[in-house]
Amino acid sequence: MKHALFQERVNPFCSRRDEAITLFQFSSVQFSSVQFSSVQFSSVQFSSVQFSSVQFSSVQAYVKLAYEIAKFCHPVETKKSNKVFFRSLLFPHISYQWYRFIANSNLLSELVQQKKQLAEKPHRHQLRLDIPIKQRLKLLIQHYTVLEQLFEAGFLRQVLLNQGAVIARVEISPDEIFELVLMFGGNESKEGELAIIWRRTGQKPLAKIRFSLLPKDKQIDVYIAGLQGAQGENRRERVAEASKLMSGLSPSRIVLEGCLAFANAINAKTVLCVADNQQISKSKVNKHFSYDDYWLDVGGVLNQQGDYEIPLVIQRKLKEDTPRKRRAKYRRQHEFLDIIYANGLELLQSRLSE
């Protein structure tokens, strides 16, 4: 599938059939009467059910488009491709709006070539388990719309298309350099469209935090839906060694500080965090980790919507509340956090659109 799929295939379809597709919303009963060949989708057969307000040519064109996008997302894995195809038919209006949004954005049209599962994002859970598909579409469109308004185009290309942008760096020694990187949330991520990772330069992440932007009443909230530790072999040893070099500072605390720097750079109103009962992808790796406990430890408060609100600036332990033998250690930790926060805030503010 060529680069032209979303801009030259979706856009002409949209412009010719806007009025018809707006009405292209079938019930489950109507779809049950549609029979598809298991081999050739070109041989689609419709029953005698009357599709009022929708012309057959519009239906046929959308079915073909949905099939092409499904194969584009998963050219080899037939099972996954079929899922995308049938979900596109089950939710035609939602899918159509998302395909059109991608097609009309130069940035997303390029991003979907690298991250093909971007096209099926509304079909999957987003941020919380209880968010319905219509709301998922709205959240995705709002996030990318606001993101493109906030930051310079060149910076966003670096973040989303070119393996991320380094927003802060800590040099322990010439051979021990750590960096904080802002990047795309992930091809199949359900926990946010942006991510901040902490890593040794050139090595695998020691921690990752995923989040999205939620515009609300002319202001912006940052929603954190995922916090992940190191993955792969020797992950515990790598984290222990990195923490030791940072005076015991945990990688998860560092990426959270980076996320707060991001929130303050864009003048976010609130930082919201997912609760345990709504977290999407808890795995065997983090089954002993409690999001609720973590947010409470950093000053979070549970709101009426079931999310935690954490401070834009986390309160640190006072010198008087710290045992004497640990004061030097905590002082160094605070110095590292100050460097990371200040560097991240300065760089992000310098990349905001004027």
Q: What is the pLDDT of residues 133-173, one digit of tens each?
A: 999 999 999 999 999 999 999 999 999 999 899 999 999 99
Identify the CATH number of the domain in which residue 288 sits: 3.40.630
> What range does the domain containing 273 cover?
153-350
118 and 160 housed in the same domain: no
Q: 314 in a domain, yes or no?
A: yes
pLDDT of residue 172: 92
Alpha-carbon gap, residue 30 to 25, rounded angstroms:
10
User: Which one of 123, 138, 171 terminates a domain?
Assistant: 123
Indicate the pLDDT class of residue 329, thresholds 50, 70 and 90: confident
9 and 93 housed in the same domain: yes
330 and 192 housed in the same domain: yes
119 and 157 housed in the same domain: no
pLDDT digits (tens, 9 = 90+) for 262-282: 999 999 999 999 999 999 876
203 and 75 housed in the same domain: no
Number of domains in the chain: 2
Q: Is 199 left (phi over 0), alpha (psi -120 to 50) or beta?
A: beta
157 and 34 housed in the same domain: no
pTM for this prediction: 0.84
> Element (H or E) spanning 260, and its range?
helix 251-265
Q: 131 in a domain, yes or no?
A: no
